[in-house]
A and B are shown apart, each in its own frame.
Chain A
Amino acid sequence: MSQNSIAKPALLSNKPKPLSQGKEALNVFCRNPSAVLGFILLSSIILISIFGPLIMGVDPFEIIGPPMEPPGSEFALLGTDYLGRDILTGLIYGGRATLLVGIVAAILSVVIGIFIGALAGYYGGTIDEILMRITEFFQVLPSLLFAMVLVTLFSPTIWIISVAIGIVSWTNTARLTRGEFIRLKRLDYVLAERVIGARSSRIIWKVILPNAIAPLIVSATLAIGTAILFEAGLSFLGLGDPNMMSWGLMIGNSRPYILIAWWAVTLPGIAIFLTVLAVSLIGDGLNDAFNPRLRERV
């Protein structure tokens, strides 16, 4: 990629020491306004979701006033739903389920994806064939339907839901990882490791993976967003954990009343939107941070 242009003979002692790739990326990230916004937004949501319930200590399913009060009423700042439950409390408590499922499911899908993709990309041949067939199988499997089946068959707790989402979402990461490994395993430093007799497991996990990590981090961030949307969809359909308040559940419950109590469905939706937005902005920021040349070209 570097051209044979004539370099300026700069005085070596004057040049600033090049930062590691990670620190460099962090710098670029911090200078990107929308990425920083996303970070602040997500942090706020996480903080509210963790500390809000701790501070408030109430039951979001509790009825606190007359049903379908609009926002700004004396009973509830953001109104009540069709049963009389407080919307604001629901919003504060609802984040836990959403974020928990989102993160656990994303971690699961990324771990599975990296594992399968790395092995397929590194070993190639038959192993690659088999793993790719498995990947295709999971790709063809209708994700929402299958998750619905899993959740109804095995009782809808937070953990089952996370596992279900994780199981159907790993294929993108797997493909990405495989592509990176195929590209990187040809490079000289990998060859050097093999020449000195390093074990394959060391090469895969300690040599290639750290270099492939950049696009994978971006992919993992997006996986969180997808998982959150997935959880919201399942809760909306009524297949979520009925004991935990979640934003999707709020929307789904109030669906028959959307024309009378629009706030009960709109506000939780905004919460989901803002969370996924924050995650996306961070993901985009990371993408730009790791691939500066794409930005400059544009």
Chain B
Amino acid sequence: MILQTHLAQEPLLNVKNLTVAFKGRQGAAPVLNDISFVVYAGETLCLVGESGCGKSMTALAIMRLIPEPGEITQGSIELSGQNLAQFSINDVRKIRGNKISMIFQEPMTALNPVYTVGDQISEPLRLHQGLTKSEARTRTIEILKSVEIPVPEQRIDEFPHQLSGGMRQRVMIAMAMACNPDVLIADEPTTALDVTVQAQIFDLLREQQQRGTAIILITHDMGAVSEMSDRVVVMYGGRVVEEGLTTEILDKPAHPYTQGLIACLPELDPNPTFDRPDLPEIPGVVPSVWERGESCPFADRCDRVMAKCREAFPPSFQTGLTQKVACWLFEGQV
């Protein structure tokens, strides 16, 4: 299904050459460096990478929520053809919570403790859809039902501290989906939750997708990637290093970093012995923003690094039906 749809469609969200830099005393540090990827309507795209690779910053850039002193210095973010990067702040606010929504990692602190759950869900409804107080209340109860919160008529007047972590995240999802957005960005939505609850949240997200919402799932959990996503974008050091259909990437990862990521996954051995090999790890650490230059950020940790890698960041080479890799190893393989 996905393949044909993709080749036929125009992308819903088109990020092109996006660069986000933070101005500091030592100059401007690029947190996102020339990022490009697309999101199609109704699909789930995973942004994968370790801490510091810029995946959260990408989400914040799309929402125009980049904290000071960062700013978009280059590139565009096109939603249905319009460039969000150039919108005025007022126009951006019309999009937030309405066409694009976001849920965050820590449901404990993401809700305002002094207002009821219902109040906070009603806010985007009343703002973007102009509902009256009672209309918003009815609709909120419906939404709470749709995220499987029991006894919604009661819960709607409760405060966040009266809810469990899993329920709070459901409320966040309810709040984000209230206005039927085109895109839902979920930044590590389950990292702070119990494993059993994680599965429930992922199920919930999949259900939301039935309504036609595209989901950008940010995660470092490869398990979630294989379960949830149609396509994957792998990031490292503020750059996109690989992208493609999940099946393709998981089957034949091309970039050394992606290979390393997948190799790190522990596998269940049907014949365990005491003499098991060590879990492979990728040696080295992510370079800090100040140390990134024009070179490939993975150069110091790559086992197949070449001189060329330290001189310039490679362009993307097509290595599969939809798979693209930014690595000099694949130069000339088109």
> CA–CA, A8 to B285, complex, Å?
8
B52 cross-chain contacts in A, Cβ below 8 A: 5-6
Q: Which residue of A lies closest to B285 (CB)?
A: A6
Max count, chain B CB within 10 A of own CB: residue among A4, A5, A6, A7 = A6
In angstroms, Cα B51 to Cα A7, docked, is: 12
Write out the residue numbers on chain B whose beta carbons fall within 8 Å of the beta carbon of A57.
none
Report A-chain residues with C-beta under 8 Å of the C-beta of B250.
Answer: none
Contact bitstring B265-293, A, C-beta under 8 A = 1, else 0: 00000000000000000000110100000
The answer for the CA separation of A6 and B53 in the assembled complex, in Å, is 12
Interface residue count on the A side (C-beta < 8 Å): 6
Beta-carbon contacts under 8 Å, A75-116 to B: none
A290 to chain B, nearest CB (A): 25
- A5-B286 Cα distance, complex, nearest whole Å: 10
**A18 contact set on B, CB distance < 8 A:** none
Contacts of B286 in A (CB 8 A): 6
Q: Which residue of B lies closest to A7 (CB)?
A: B285
Assess whether A9 is interfacial by the CB under 8 Å rule.
yes
Closest B residue, CB atoms, query A6: B285
- A138 and B288 CA atoms in complex are apart in Å by 55
Size of interface on B: residues with Cβ below 8 Å to A: 5
Chain B binding surface SS class: loop
CA distance A8 to B137 in the complex (A): 51
Give bound CA distance, A245 to B52, whole Å. Answer: 65
Q: Which residue of A lies closest to B286 (CB)?
A: A6
Roughly how many angstroms separate A9 CA and B285 CA in the complex, as a whole number? 9
Give the CA-CA distance A6 to B52 in the complex, in Å: 9
Residue in chain A with minimal CB distance to B291: A8
Nearest to A9 among chain B residues (CB) is B285
A201 CA to B286 CA in the complex, in Å?
49
Complex: chain B residue closest to A5, CB-CB:
B51
Cβ proximity bits A1-34 to B, threshold 8 Å, 1 near / 0 not: 0001111110000000000000000000000000
- How long is the Cα–Cα vector from A8 to B286 in the complex, in angstroms? 9
Q: How far is the CA of A7 from the CA of B288 in the complex (A)?
A: 10
Q: Which residues of A contact B51 (CB under 8 A)?
A: 4-6
Nearest CB in chain B: distance from A141 CB, A: 33
Q: Given the complex, which residues of B lie within 8 Å of A9, measured CB to CB?
A: 285
Q: How far is the CB of B96 from chain A (nearest CB, A)?
A: 25
Q: Which residue of B lies closest to A4 (CB)?
A: B51
| A4 surroundings in chain B (CB, below 8 A) | 51
Interface string of B43-69 (1 = CB under 8 A from A): 000000001100000000000000000
CB contacts under 8 Å to B, within A56-76, are none
Which A residues between 129 and 186 are near B, CB-CB below 8 angstroms? none
Report the Cα distance A4→B285, complex, angstroms.
13
- B residues less than 8 Å from A6 (CB atoms): 51-52, 285-286
Q: Return the CB mask of A277-289 against B: 1 if under 8 Å, else 0.
A: 0000000000000
Determine the distance from Cα of A130 to Cα of B286 in the docked complex, in whole angstroms. Answer: 55
Q: Considering the complex, give the chain B residue whose CB is closest to the CB of A3.
A: B51
CB distance from B181 to the nearest CB of A (A): 31
* Among A5, A7, A9: residue with most chain B CB under 10 A: A5
CA distance A5 to B285 in the complex (A): 10
Closest to B288 in A: A8
Q: Note all chain A residues with C-beta closer than 8 A to B285.
A: 6-9
**Minimum CB–CB distance for A114 against chain B, Å:** 33
| Residues of the B chain whose Cβ atoms lie less than 8 Å from the Cβ of A5 | 51-52
Shortest A90–chain B CB gap in Å is: 51
Please give, as numbers and ranges, the residues of chain A lying within 8 Å of B288 by CB-CB distance: 8
CA distance A120 to B171 in the complex (A): 41
B68 to chain A, nearest CB (A): 12
Q: Give complex CA distance A105, B285 in Å.
A: 56
Q: How far is the CA of A165 from the CA of B286 in the complex (A)?
A: 59
Q: Chain A, 205-221, contact with B by CB distance < 8 Å: what is the 0/1 string? A: 00000000000000000
Q: Which residue of A lies closest to B50 (CB)?
A: A6
B136 CB to closest chain A CB, in angstroms? Answer: 36
Residues in B neighbouring A7, C-beta threshold 8 A:
285
Bound-complex Cα distance A6 to B285 (A): 7
Q: Which residues of B contact A8 (CB under 8 A)?
A: 285, 288
> B-contacting residues of A (Cβ < 8 Å)?
4-9
Nearest 4 pairs between A and B by C-beta?
Answer: A6-B285, A6-B286, A5-B51, A8-B288
Given contacts A6-B51, A6-B285, A6-B286, 8 further A-B contacts (CB under 8 A): A4-B51, A5-B51, A5-B52, A6-B52, A7-B285, A8-B285, A8-B288, A9-B285
List 11 A-B residue pairs with CB atoms under 8 Å apart, sorted by A's residue number: A4-B51, A5-B51, A5-B52, A6-B51, A6-B52, A6-B285, A6-B286, A7-B285, A8-B285, A8-B288, A9-B285
